[in-house]
Amino acid sequence: MKLLSSCLAFFIFLSCSSPKVENEREANPGFQTIGSIERLDSAVNSLIGSDAKIEVLASGFEWAEGPLWLEEEQALIFTDVPTNTIWKWTEKDSLTLYLSPSGYLGDRTDKREPGANGLALDPQGNLVLCQHGERQVGKMLGDLDAPKAEFESLATGYEGKRFNSPNDLVFNSKGQLFFTDPPYGMDPWDEKELDFQGVYRLDADGKVHLLIDSLSRPNGVALSPDQQTMYIAQSDPEKARYYAFELDEQGNVISGKVLFDATSLQSETRKGLPDGLKVHSSGILFATGPGGVLVLSPEGMHLGTILTENGTANCGFDLEEKYLYMTADAYLMRIALK
């Protein structure tokens, strides 16, 4: 969503503009630590231990996004939107290039945010991407362990009009895909064909359904464990909110409400807006926003914040929820969970 310049090269340890770090070897030898945990309610302690530290795993990215765990590969992949790439991080091999290009296949070199943003796996285990540059939801044709920059278009527009720039996505157990379409990936010369920013559902038959057209900047999307609630983060500084929408059995929206309003939390020291979010198996939301990652109850109570000291774009769990991985500006981070 955001474009920043960086003087860092890709490597594991921090270099020319390192963040403020402390207790370097307490969490895990070899990883520097950063930030702190704000605990507003004791419920947060059931997920984040008192000794938990935020570890910096890699750095040097222009705007890291879309963390996705690959269980068979024991790897995390994530996007760097401005550089049109996807990177892979593993405990064993550290940081390696995974896929390039990721979201734009054309020849222009002056696009601001051409790459893929949100990533997900479909029920068959294929990599599905929100591709800014192509303004579509696409599926990578290569295997996860042998990626290649060849894509099938799954959805390119609504009612004959081209999408803005699909941003984030999530599958339910039926294989229905829910995704958001704000204009963040568009360049000044791109023609905006839709006069709203939509939230959509893509069914297995390829039909696209518009679910919501009333949000100014829909961004992150996630589902509750029972898949009856769809959560949407809105990256609007005037209405920095997280919404909860009740879904019926067909995946249509029945009703909606503001779950939590984070507008007043914005400050010079708490950078960022509501962006990507994920739901823990307990139902607790981990939602990026002002200051880092907000921990919210399903009822909308603010339990605490993982303060990353950086604008934080997205987050994701490994299969066993041992860690929460976070993409925050130029950094890939993680924190151990109980």
In-domain check, residue 6: no
> HSE (CB half, 13 Å, CA atoms) of 238?
3
| Beta carbons of 169 and 130 less than 8 angstroms apart | yes
pLDDT at 1 over 60: no
Could you report the per-residue pLDDT of 270-310, keeping only the tens digit for each? 999 999 999 999 999 999 999 999 999 999 999 999 999 99
> HSE (CB half, 13 Å, CA atoms) of 290?
20
Report which of 290, 282, 280 is spatially closest to residue 260, judged by C-alpha positions. Answer: 290
In-domain check, residue 10: no
In-domain check, residue 200: yes
Exposed / middle / buried, residue 51 (Cβ in 10 Å: 0-12, 13-18, 19+)? exposed
Phi, psi of 288 (to 5 degrees): -65, 145
CA distance 27 to 275: 27
Domain that holds residue 244: 32-336
Could you report the per-residue pLDDT of 30-51, keeping only the tens digit for each? 799 999 999 999 999 999 999 9
| Beta carbons of 82 and 112 less than 8 angstroms apart | yes
- The number of domains in the chain is 1
Could you report the per-residue pLDDT of 64-117, keeping only the tens digit for each? 999 999 999 999 999 999 999 999 999 999 999 999 999 999 999 999 999 999
| Beta carbons of 241 and 234 less than 8 angstroms apart | yes
What count of residues does the chain have?
Answer: 338
| Beta carbons of 244 and 311 less than 8 angstroms apart | no
In-domain check, residue 21: no
In-domain check, residue 22: no
**What CATH number did the domain enclosing 103 receive?**
2.120.10.30
Two tokens at 289? 């926003």
In-domain check, residue 79: yes
In-domain check, residue 263: yes
Could you report the per-residue pLDDT of 110-142, keeping only the tens digit for each? 999 999 999 999 999 999 999 999 999 999 998
In-domain check, residue 70: yes
Could you report the per-residue pLDDT of 167-208, keeping only the tens digit for each? 999 999 999 999 999 999 999 999 999 999 999 999 999 999
| Beta carbons of 313 and 65 less than 8 angstroms apart | yes
How would you classify the pairing of strands 75-80 and 64-70?
Answer: antiparallel
